[in-house]
Structure 1
Amino acid sequence: IKIYTLIGELVWEEQFSVGAPESEAGFHEEVMWDGRNDAGEIVRNGVYVCKIETDHGSAMTKIAVAK
């Protein structure tokens, strides 16, 4: 999972593996993003793009951050 600004700057990235110890039967049904970037800083209000990639394809959606 990667989260980008609307101009394409990477904000946050997290990788998950099938069969990871924290996963149930190797699948993640819900992922929570705490609104912080990879440096641990709270991101600004705005719209971000979330990209999910798997071996079987990818999907993108927009996320709005409003505090």
Structure 2
Amino acid sequence: MTKQELIGRIATINRSARAEFLAEFSEAELQQYLNNLEAVWGDFKAQFVTNEAEPSESVELEAALVAG
């Protein structure tokens, strides 16, 4: 993945992360951060999001997670 692709993917998971801030990091650092985010998000979904949840519900849960 390119640096811009990494930043874009990170932004879809962590909507509070600003591209300007993320651009200061190397591709390797961004990849590690993305790996961490995906692991945490995967764990969260496994615990709290069921297959029966509507997509809008998943978005609301994601927003709640990001908001803290």
TM-score range (shorter-chain normalised) is: under 0.3
User: Under a length normalisation based on structure 2, what TM-score does the superposition of the two structures give?
Assistant: 0.25
* Structure with the higher fraction of residues in strand conformation: 1
Q: Which has the higher contact order (CA 8 A, sep 6+)?
A: 2
